[in-house]
Chain A
Amino acid sequence: MKIAHHLDDATLVGFAAGTLAPAHSIVASAHMALCPQCRATLHKAEAIGGGILADQAPTAVSQTLRAATLASLEGLPVSAPKKPSAPLKAGALPDVLVRALGVTSLDQIKWHRKLPGVAIYDVPLPKGTKAKLKLLALEKGRAMPDHGHGGEELTLVLKGSYSDKFGKFTAGDVADLAEDVEHQPIVDSDETCICLISFDVPAKFKSIWARLAQPFSGM
């Protein structure tokens, strides 16, 4: 799988620090399952965390903690060395999405259709998280909902393709654009384009249906 569009370094730093909202983390993790380049950047960003940890002034731990920890090691099962996982085959869902979507294939998604050529699946997330996660299936010629809504938004293509002024986005590509970017992504594959989108919900949120119903408004 050739990846042409990657995560922003700022997003990777957020993922490395552990500060991305769950919805964005899932999209970022799914992209990285497919993208060795972003995984390499992630490890470099994690090194900043490692250096900060190494540089902490030590706070003494209690002697009972030390003794209890050493005593608890007896008989603990330990991990054997692992072989690296094989790269995912084309069309295979990363494990993170198998868990998040509760399916092993996109064919098993229970879509909601409200507009011609458009279907949506709301991915359930833990309560209390602000960012939302949706799966979108759009037919050729439909527009992807746009950015520019005052928050973070990540779009990962899982199947098919769309194009906008930044180029063509095919399976594995992620759009991680500045919030003020205006663009009009249009599905250009013969097969249905399926994307996973995470987005913050700001106060003046326009529903995703409204955004899809006005495909060429350039909102």
Chain B
Amino acid sequence: MLMPLVNMTDPSATTSGQRNDIYAVLLHRVAQSRDRLAFAELFDHFAPRVKSFMMRKGCNAEQAEDLVQEAMIAVWTKAALFSTDRGSVSTWIFTIARNLWIDRLRREKSQLYTDLEDFDAPDGATGAEENLGRSQEDNYVAQALEQIPVEQRELLILSFVEDVPQSEIAQRLNIPLGTVKSRMRLGYQRMRKLLETVT
């Protein structure tokens, strides 16, 4: 008997770390048993966030909902390909959304990304159950972003949210490309350090 896992009456389930683990459990249920209830919970959490994310990239509400639907259907059909070795459920859904965005609005094929995923496909040796408790990173990324220098944070947001290439960031901010790259490098490395100390 499968019960909804995100149980709002249980306050212990609402700390951010545990919530994150719950999405991995839900996704595991989708992969194992085509659990629609689990999928509906994933949909209710992630669809509104994917919609916001797409709208910040410049989609109107209708385009964003098209992409949300495609992304969430991919969550259903590809659930068995999720691996906690590569990151959290949110990170996995981010890569699905990014790949759909690339396919839709550019003429580049996101197969460049999916090829690479195959090399790091979940290894049968590490059972999904053992990995369920792995990543709490999502919850710390926002906090870590607040802790890095503003000029580094700005570049990460321009890249991940607004989809601006580094050469265009250089033009927009009127700084050399080399400076953009060094800020990007420092921003990434500081984020890694911050995330590694809390996970």
Contact = CB atoms under 8 A, between A and B. Distances in A.
Interface of B is mostly: helix
A20 B137 CA distance: 25
B154 interface: no
B191 A69 contact: no
Interface stretch (A56-64, A102-110, A167-175, A206-214): A56-64
Interface residues of B, number: 93
Contacts of A83: 121, 123-124
A73 B91 CA distance: 23
Given A39-B119, A61-B48, A79-B77, A46 B139 contact: no
Contact of B185 (A10, A44, A52): A10
B163 interface: yes
B95 A46 contact: yes
A87 B118 CA distance: 10
Given A17-B160, A178-B178, A179-B177, A52 B115 contact: no
A84 B124 CA distance: 9
Contacts of B191: 48
A60 B64 CA distance: 11
A18 interface: yes
Which among A8, A82, A126 has the highest number of chain B CB atoms within 10 Å? A82
B115 A81 contact: no
A123 B106 CA distance: 18
A208 B129 CA distance: 53
Interface of A: 8-14, 16-22, 25-26, 29, 32-33, 36, 39, 42-62, 65-66, 68-70, 72-73, 76-85, 87, 94-96, 99, 126-129, 150-152, 178-180, 200
List the 10 closest pairs (A to B, CB-CB), nearest first. A51-B141, A50-B91, A58-B48, A126-B107, A54-B138, A17-B159, A10-B181, A56-B52, A10-B184, A55-B142
